[in-house]
Amino acid sequence: MPSEVRAVQELVKDGHMNAVPEDYILPEEERPKLADGVSADHALPVIDMKGVEGERRGFIVEQIREACAQWGFFQVTNHGVPLPLIARMQQVSREFFELPLEDKMKYRSPNEEQMLVSEGYGTKVAAKKGAFANWGDQLRHKSLPASQRNYDRWPTNPSSFREIEEGYIEEQDKLVKRILELISESLGLESSYLNDHLVGKLTQTLLMNYYPHCPQPELVLGVQRHSDFGLLTLLVQDVDDAPGLQVTKDGDWITVMPMDGAVIVNLGDQMEMLSNGKYKSIEHRAFVTGSKPRMSIVAFTYPTDETVVGPISDLLSAEELPKYGRCSFGEYRSSFIASSGAHGKSHIQSMAIV
């Protein structure tokens, strides 16, 4: 177990720091630019799910198709996750990160070089030579199936943490299933197709990201650019925080403004492969600011390790040949991790059939 404390929050705690440590400083071309994120032409689609069980459904499916094909990213409102539950989850997460370091260390991740597969509190360190550290701390839990939970790494302070997190996990899972229905329909499949196809084959990980303010925000990123390697990601920002999330669109970075009551939906690499490239898994990143911390709460849905991933056969035909190969998700994840540090979409490209 590494003994050195890496929490970014500790670096800025007393306000003395005015230069960030070397290993957080990105090469010029990876740094966020002031001009990034402002585009008069583009705004991430917002899809209002109100009336989704009624006559608006066809219209909503149409919007989902467009957003998945053009953006791979969208926000949903009236999504059915109770807003007070989201607010409570944000509140207890913030309270956790604001605890003294020694209290958080009780839940410390045993492997900060492998935060993607580990659990608990920690900072994703630059594990490889030539890689750069992220300006952020995390609390990560394997959340579904419930049998995978390791409650030793779940905070007991604040005391309501566990109950609120359990409720949150369940509501995020229900929203994933509703969105998978709409995505199925948007691909011309039966509504229950993806949920049936993936029944018993999905897991969920919950991630709370805490990005402290930074004395030199123009040199670092909270999360460097990447695509998510799973199936579907749900992300919530706090409207009281500054923005941070940016997604790529036609070569530009677009800032996703925090929106009251909205959940951000992000298609992962598995959705791109499963849809045979009709839908996109898009590169994104998070920048940080000089004045205030920012938090995001992220629910990742992954296939189980044994699940064979790749284009679904019902979408293939003599005219629609597979654009990606097949492998188990466990293999995909391992090689994704082995190649990360390498940026962006390099990994899914390795699955492309050319």
Alpha-carbon distance 43 to 69, whole Å?
15
Q: Is the peptide bond before 2 cis (omega within 30 degrees of 0)?
A: no
Q: Give the shortest CB-134-to-ligand OGA separation in angstroms.
A: 9
Phi, psi of 344 (to 5 degrees): 60, -130
Annotate 79-104 with b (16+ C-beta within 10 A) or e (fewer).
bebeeeebebbbebbbebbebeeeeb
| Partner that binds at residue 297, options ligand OGA, Ni ion, none, CB closer than 5 to 8 Å by kind | none
Alpha-carbon distance 247 to 169, whole Å?
25
283 lines the binding site for Ni ion (CB under 5 A):
no
State which of residues 112, 137, 173, 228 lies at the interface with Ni ion (CB under 5 A): 228
| Partner that binds at residue 296, options Ni ion, ligand OGA, none, CB closer than 5 to 8 Å by kind | ligand OGA
DSSP state, 250? Answer: T
State which of residues 298, 299, 309, 351 lies at the interface with ligand OGA (CB under 6 A): 298
Phi, psi of 72 (to 5 degrees): 70, 10
CB 245: neighbour CB atoms within 10 A?
24
The number of residues that bind Ni ion (CB under 5 A) is 1
CB 314: neighbour CB atoms within 10 A?
12
> Which one, of 202, 76, 229, 75, lies nearest residue 143 by Cα?
202
> Which one, of 121, 139, 143, 138, lies nearest residue 204 by Cα?
143
Window 118-157: contact mask with Ni ion (x via CB under 5 A): ----------------------------------------
Three-state secondary structure readout of 194-262: HHHHCCCCEEEEEEEEEECCCCCHHHCCCEEEECCCCCEEEEEECCCCCCCEEEEECCEEEECCCCCCC
Q: Give the shortest CB-209-to-ligand OGA separation in angstroms.
A: 4
| Partner that binds at residue 20, options ligand OGA, Ni ion, none, CB closer than 5 to 8 Å by kind | none
| Partner that binds at residue 245, options Ni ion, ligand OGA, none, CB closer than 5 to 8 Å by kind | ligand OGA
| Partner that binds at residue 286, options ligand OGA, Ni ion, none, CB closer than 5 to 8 Å by kind | ligand OGA
| Partner that binds at residue 298, options ligand OGA, Ni ion, none, CB closer than 5 to 8 Å by kind | ligand OGA
Residue list 45-64, contact with ligand OGA (CB under 6 A)? none
Stretch that binds Ni ion, among 28-36, 139-147, 220-228, 326-334 (CB under 5 A): 220-228
Q: Give the shortest CB-159-to-ligand OGA separation in angstroms.
A: 26
Counting Cα atoms < 13 Å in the Cβ hemisphere of 346 gives 11
Positive/negative CA dihedral, 3, 209, 71, 269: positive
272 lines the binding site for Ni ion (CB under 5 A):
no
| Partner that binds at residue 122, options Ni ion, ligand OGA, none, CB closer than 5 to 8 Å by kind | none
State which of residues 209, 248, 276, 340 lies at the interface with ligand OGA (CB under 6 A): 209
Residue list 210-269, contact with ligand OGA (CB under 6 A)? 223, 228, 244-245
Closer CB to Ni ion, 173 or 228, in the complex: 228
DSSP state, 108? Answer: B
Alpha-carbon distance 98 to 253, whole Å?
31
Closer CB to ligand OGA, 165 or 228, in the complex: 228
Closer CB to ligand OGA, 124 or 153, in the complex: 124
CB 224 within 8 A of CB 30: yes
269 lines the binding site for Ni ion (CB under 5 A):
no
State which of residues 198, 286, 288, 312 lies at the interface with ligand OGA (CB under 6 A): 286
Q: What residues line the site for ligand OGA (CB under 6 A)?
A: 207, 209, 223, 228, 244-245, 284, 286, 296, 298
Q: What residues line the site for Ni ion (CB under 5 A)?
A: 228
